[in-house]
Amino acid sequence: MKTNAIYEGDCLRRIAQFPEGSIELIYADPPFFTQRNYEQIWRNPDGSPDEYELRSFKDRWEGGIENYIAWMEPRVRECHRVLKPTGTMYLHCDYHANSYLRVLMDRVFGADHLRNEIIWCYTGPGNHPKDFGRKHDTIYRYVKGDTWTFNADAVRVPYDPRTLARAEYGQAGYKVLKSAKASWTQEGGKIPEDWWSEFSPVGRHKNELLGYPTQKPEALLERIIRASSNSGDIVLDPFCGCGTAVAVAQKEGRRWVGVDVSPVACKVMKQRLDQLLAVAGKTVEVISPPRSVAELKQLTHFEFQQWGLEVSHAVPSTKFSGDMGIDGRTLHGDVAIQVKQQEKVGRNVVDNFKAAMDRDNKHEGIIVAFSFTSGAIEEAARLRNLPAGESRLVTLRRAEDLLAEE
């Protein structure tokens, strides 16, 4: 896993390749289940008039909320896996799905690991003649273990003047000693409550606005990052959009990893981060998935193996090599995967893979390679047609076909 880099692709596949227990803080701002289509004009962060693009963004889910939560669950589980034992995850959502996501987060993290249900409330124009205006988001803060990072002094805010007056004169109205006042107040201010009203929507911050439909203000992310990470920690945003979380992480001296499925979003993020790094003479790398067989053949053995696992929705075995013929397993562990950076993979590979599946007690497996011989294809068919209890479903996947499905 490279830090201070942008990964293009589905976060489920990308995060599956990250080491377990490697991330201190995750801020996730996924689609909100709005059942809407968005069309936004994105501008180049440097304001160049010839750098505008129209991006369509779909937040529609056939099959309803059940399909949305089924889509979210493996991604939340991967986020949980890569968190350090002391790590924290913030999940940003709104009224469309917050109750369902709370149940999902309880299931993955444990209900007793919810530390805050933060309400970000804001004002703005709206026209709801039959309802109160919907002007708040929900941000769930979950921790993975029994200890976690929380930098209270980094996020203190000024006391209300009325609170200071009570601390100065006491509830009875007489002036109190300095030692007694200390029990009321803390130097530097108070720790914010779990409702945040001081952050206005990004539309009111013209210097930040990039045109992304769900862009969040930097000040909101500053509080989250300062509270739940330290200098040098790794911050992950699995649904990066235009990159607010990673941009703030960069400014706050954290390492970071951004992931987004949209090539346009990755381009906007790169431009935004390159501007921040220009003073140091650095640029940000966008790690894009291979788009041709020729590009796949240029990968190292381990890079190709990672790609094969990623497109198979699988996670690596404990070891990248020497794992008794199995390179990885699907996210639920029920399908074995072997990846061969070879042409004309033969019958012997299928036979050896079948033996590895037997050792691993797997009845289904996938071999990824550039091409297969007729002997390999015939052997896979023979294994499928064995009597019940002996048959094995070995699927042969050509790299060319997997690229076409992307």
Domain boundaries, the chain: 5-155+191-287, 157-190, 293-405
CA dihedral 143, 145, 147, 153 (to 10 degrees): -10
Q: Sort 306 into a burial class: Cβ within 10 Å, 0-12 / 13-18 / 19+.
A: buried
Answer whether 273's CB lies under 8 Å from 243's CB. yes
How big is the CA angle at 365 (ends 360 and 367), to the nearest 5 degrees?
Answer: 120
Phi, psi of 200 (to 5 degrees): -80, 155
pLDDT in tens, 49-94: 445 454 555 556 767 888 889 889 999 999 999 999 999 999 999 9
- As given in the structure block, the two tokens for residue 201 are 């929507």
CATH number attached to the domain at 293-405: 3.40.1350.10
Query: 5-155+191-287 and 293-405: same fold?
Result: no
E strand spans, 145-231: 195-196
CA 100 to chain centre: 18
- As given in the structure block, the two tokens for residue 150 are 């929380």
- CATH of region 5-155+191-287, choose from 2.30.140.10, 3.40.50.150, 1.20.58.100, 3.40.50.1100: 3.40.50.150
pTM of the model: 0.75
C-alpha 10/C-alpha 325 separation (Å) is 27
Answer whether 310's CB lies under 8 Å from 17's CB. yes
E strand spans, 308-375: 314-316, 328-330, 336-339, 364-369
Q: Using only C-alpha atoms, what is the Rg of the chain?
A: 25
Query: Taking Cα atoms as reference points, which of 46, 42, 45, 44 lies closest to residue 54?
Result: 42
- 23-28 and 83-93: which strand pairing? parallel
One-letter amino acid for residue 344 of the chain: K
The DSSP output letter for 358 is H
Answer whether 365's CB lies under 8 Å from 357's CB. yes
Per-residue pLDDT of the chain (406 residues; tens, 9 = 90+): 999 999 998 898 889 889 999 999 999 999 878 666 555 555 555 555 445 454 555 556 767 888 889 889 999 999 999 999 999 999 999 998 999 999 999 999 999 999 999 999 998 777 778 989 889 999 999 999 999 999 999 999 988 887 777 666 555 544 544 544 455 556 778 999 999 999 988 877 777 877 677 789 999 999 999 999 999 999 999 999 889 999 999 999 999 999 998 888 898 899 999 999 998 899 999 998 888 999 999 888 888 988 898 888 787 775 444 456 899 888 667 899 999 999 999 999 999 999 999 998 999 999 999 999 999 999 999 999 999 889 999 999 999 999 988 7
Answer whether 343's CB lies under 8 Å from 372's CB. no
